[in-house]
Chain A
Amino acid sequence: MKELTKYRLFNRYRIIVTVAFISGLFVTWFFASGLYEATLGFNANAEDIQGSAKEVQTFLIYQLLDLDTYVSSTFNYISCIVPILVTVLTILFIKEKNSLFINLYVRHNKRRTVLIQTMLSHSVLNGLTIYLGFIIFLLVGLVINKVPVSFNRDGLDWLFGENFSIRHCFLYYLLEGVIKFFVFPYIYTLFSCALSLIYKKTYQCVIVVLIYYFFGTIIFAIGFNFVLLSPSHTLAFTSIHNYFIGYSLVPLSIPLIATIGIIILFFVRGEEY
């Protein structure tokens, strides 16, 4: 493995982000699924419990231990935290741009190629980092959750037949996760990297992306009730029933167009980088 790839992969920022993402998923699952109330917060002396309180508690815990509840309880966490983690990871690109680029330019003639390649490589790595974190969470869920899934998510039914998510819940979330945890981080990393070409300060590249994401959501989804252009839609589409999964990619077109526009403008102006 190249030294540069090693540096990009096993950087402490990346490790911290991955660990934070995975631990956040578990904490959210414990509290948001209702597991806390069914275990530590359970009131065995409630008035309406007649007979064994242990039996009621076991029933409540059992009801929560299916893979769909496990994953869906983290939806809110995912749609709020993933954009933040992705843009934080872009700091690695900015650091590299400000230090290592000079050495790379000596070796390569085409500075533009170096810049684009580095941006694409960071986007792939960020996508893989978040997706890998989710896969680890999903694999643990496969071991913990033994109750058969009864609630269907029909996003992939058109491709794999009716009730696909009930029959193969793990596979459903694994496939759906490609959009949420690989494509989304990929596009948003590119967007943030492109912004670093026009903004001098690192925090600006993070803040501008987050302002677009959260304010865009407030304006499109909450204000105009037009979810198709809401930036958070790509991470939250699973909650919509009777839905073609391809629509979830539409909101990504805005940051993608903005990225291409910024890069072209940057090259046309011939600015120093």
Chain B
Amino acid sequence: MMKRLKKLVLTSVLAICMMIATAVTAFAHREVKTYNVSVSGHRAEDTGRAIKYHNGKQDYGKFRIALDSSSVKGNITLKVRMENSDHASRGSGKVTEPNTATINNSGTKGYYYHLNLIRENILGGSTVVTGTWSPDQPH
């Protein structure tokens, strides 16, 4: 009887542990994408899509972009816009080189989003920019 009870308790504890682990993993998950695109001031460039794990209004739901480097002299500013698959805006802001920006948005978890990058200055020519971005914030 005791043996059976022990087995039952052990199995239950294991099951609970697994459930918590799964929940924590799902909660902490976020997709991080790298980008290496040529941006100019007259046409927005797509960074490639990523899935969103948190709603925009949640604490971890802000989207994050790191602009590591560009191929021009001086630290440029990019206008950033998070868009859904229909290219409708779900939040926008700016990021300067070589910094990171965390921007509010109205994206919904479970959907794919991408960023549109464009230079602030149309007469600055095009430049290759590199960095990372994620539709969610790190924990």
Contact = CB atoms under 8 A, between A and B. Distances in A.
A59 B92 CA distance: 11
B115 interface: no
A241 B97 contact: yes
A262 interface: no
Interface string B91-106: 1111011010000101
A59 B89 contact: no
Interface residues of B, number: 36
B73 to A, nearest CB: 6
Contacts, number: 103
Contacts of B73: 225-227
Given A48-B107, A241-B76, A151 B84 contact: no
6 contacts: A46-B86, A63-B91, A72-B94, A222-B123, A227-B73, A238-B120
Contacts of B138: none
Given A49-B108, A56-B106, A221-B123, 9 more contacts: A48-B107, A72-B94, A75-B120, A76-B122, A151-B93, A217-B123, A227-B72, A236-B121, A241-B75
A23 interface: no
A240 B94 CA distance: 12
A225 B76 CA distance: 13
A37 B125 contact: no
B35 interface: no
Given A34-B92, A48-B111, A56-B106, A239 B119 contact: yes
Interface string B76-87: 110101001110
Contact of A38 (B84, B89, B96, B97): B89
Shortest 6 CB-CB distances between A and B: which pairs?
Answer: A222-B125, A241-B75, A239-B120, A76-B122, A241-B96, A232-B123
Contacts of B123: 76, 79-80, 217, 221-222, 230, 232, 236
B121 A76 contact: yes
A151 B125 contact: no
A241 B122 CA distance: 16
Interface string A164-200: 0000000000000000000000000000000000000
Interface of B: 41-42, 72-77, 79, 81, 84-86, 88-94, 96-97, 99, 104, 106-108, 111, 119-126
B88 A239 contact: no
A221 B104 CA distance: 33
Contacts of B99: 241
A63 B92 contact: yes
B88 A72 contact: no
A47 B84 contact: yes
B97 to A, nearest CB: 7
Nearest to A68: B94
A190 to B, nearest CB: 22
Contacts of A50: 108
A128 interface: no
